[in-house]
């Protein structure tokens, strides 16, 4: 797998997935781990958590995080078994965020100049999706340290929770129209699989520079098992239990387009399989759930892989 060279010269090889490293500056525990020297985020391109134009309450509550985020083992068991034999996560975060407007004001003051950050944005309303994306993208282009924009193709307000092919296309166009010099990454969900024949040619025409992969709806991974987050429709599954479906999705994308793919990884085996799938095509590896559960592992993986 060759690294992805974005049109602004930035190179993508190892990335931290959206949601794993807070708003691009790290969660509080990342800051402690950085201070202790246990993690080095400068080795990665960091995708900030997703922001919608205006604040969104979502489902997550700081005083009861377990209600919307659970560690799970390979069988989808949560609780003690999920924590001890953790292989991934179920989350129904619901894109809780303080709004892109606030982030746009704060990020330049808080950003670590050594970090390479990609902004992640998603529409919230059902009526003016492209407008929201265009307005936020227009502001992001003025942010130093931001190397690109990731359009998150999920929208918790919509039934099914994902943007359809037309919405993804119009939001990508709006983003490119308002921030033409910013490389654009589009994040798709395995639930987009039936729409790929419509989505991929459109993304290629628009000049999308990479595709990343979101968590998988609980019912697709564990059709016969009740989700610990059933109150929120089951949530999304990430990490090892979701890998089989993610790899099927990845191979469909690889077979249908030459847009580079960013592969999610939980362990070294995932990195190996992703490299096999990509062959000599450009691609990158992203660390999501593993960064949240074992923040020190990704740095070890990339040292083992030779940097």
Q: Which residues bind ligand FMN (CB under 6 A)?
A: 17-19, 49-50, 69, 89, 91, 93, 95, 120, 152, 187, 214-215, 238-239, 242, 264-266, 288-289, 292
Q: Least CB distance from residue 47 to ligand FMN, whole Å?
A: 7
Name which of 17 and 196 has its Cβ closer to ligand FMN.
Answer: 17
Name which of 120 and 170 has its Cβ closer to ligand FMN.
Answer: 120
Q: What 3-state DSSP class applies to 199? A: helix
Residue 79: partners with Cβ closer than 8 Å, 6 or more residues away = 70, 228
Angle of CA points 114, 116, 117, to nearest 5°: 130
Name which of 19 and 26 has its Cβ closer to ligand FMN.
Answer: 19
Q: Least CB distance from residue 289 to ligand FMN, whole Å?
A: 3
Decide: 124 and 57 in contact? Cβ < 8 Å.
Answer: no
Q: Least CB distance from residue 22 to ligand FMN, whole Å?
A: 10
Strands of the chain (E only): list them. 4-5, 11-12, 14-16, 45-51, 69-72, 88-91, 116-121, 146-152, 184-188, 210-213, 216-217, 236-239, 261-265, 283-287
Name which of 179 and 188 has its Cβ closer to ligand FMN.
Answer: 188
Q: Least CB distance from residue 176 to ligand FMN, whole Å?
A: 19
Q: Can you say whether the dihedral through the CA atoms of 285, 287, 290, 294 is positive or negative? A: positive
Q: How far apart are CA 205 and CA 180, in angstroms?
A: 14
Q: Least CB distance from residue 27 to ligand FMN, whole Å?
A: 10
Q: Which residue in the block uniquely carries the two structure tokens 């134009």?
A: 53
Q: Which residue is nearest to ligand FMN (CB)?
A: 19
Q: Least CB distance from residue 204 to ligand FMN, whole Å?
A: 21
Name which of 50 and 169 has its Cβ closer to ligand FMN.
Answer: 50
Q: How far apart are CA 82 and CA 72, in angstroms?
A: 4
Q: How far apart are CA 157 and CA 58, in angstroms?
A: 10
Name which of 282 and 298 has its Cβ closer to ligand FMN.
Answer: 298
Q: Least CB distance from residue 153 to ligand FMN, whole Å?
A: 8
Name which of 69 and 206 has its Cβ closer to ligand FMN.
Answer: 69
**Which tokens go with 127?**
């009526």
């Amino acid at each position: 797998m060759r690294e992805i060279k974005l049109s602004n010269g930035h190179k993508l090889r190892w990335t931290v997935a959206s949601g794993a490293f807070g708003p691009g500056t790290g969660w509080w525990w990342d800051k402690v781990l950085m201070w202790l020297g246990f993690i080095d985020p400068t080795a990665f391109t960091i995708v900030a958590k997703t922001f919608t134009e205006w604040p969104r309450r979502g489902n997550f509550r700081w005083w009861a995080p377990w209600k919307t985020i659970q560690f799970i083992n390979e069988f989808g068991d949560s609780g003690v078994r999920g924590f001890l034999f953790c292989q991934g996560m179920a989350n129904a975060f619901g894109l809780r965020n303080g709004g892109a407007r606030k982030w746009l004001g704060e990020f330049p003051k808080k950003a670590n100049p050594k970090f390479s950050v990609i902004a992640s944005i998603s529409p919230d309303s059902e009526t003016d999706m492209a407008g929201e994306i265009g307005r936020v993208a227009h502001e992001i282009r003025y942010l130093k340290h931001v190397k690109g924009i990731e359009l998150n193709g999920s929208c918790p307000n919509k039934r099914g929770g994902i943007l359809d092919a037309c919405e993804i296309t119009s939001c990508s166009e709006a983003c490119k129209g308002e921030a033409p010099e910013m490389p654009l990454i589009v994040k798709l969900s395995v639930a987009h699989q039936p729409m790929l024949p419509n989505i991929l040619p459109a993304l290629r025409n628009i000049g999308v520079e990479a595709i990343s992969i979101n968590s998988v709806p609980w019912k697709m991974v564990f059709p016969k098992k009740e989700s610990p987050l059933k109150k929120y429709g089951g949530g999304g599954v990430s990490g090892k239990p979701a890998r089989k479906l993610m790899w099927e999705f990845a191979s469909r994308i690889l077979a249908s387009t030459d847009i580079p793919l960013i592969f999610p990884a939980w362990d070294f085996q995932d990195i190996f399989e992703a490299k096999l799938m990509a062959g000599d095509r450009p691609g990158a590896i992203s660390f999501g759930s593993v960064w949240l559960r074992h923040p020190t592992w990704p740095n070890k993986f990339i040292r083992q892989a030779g940097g």
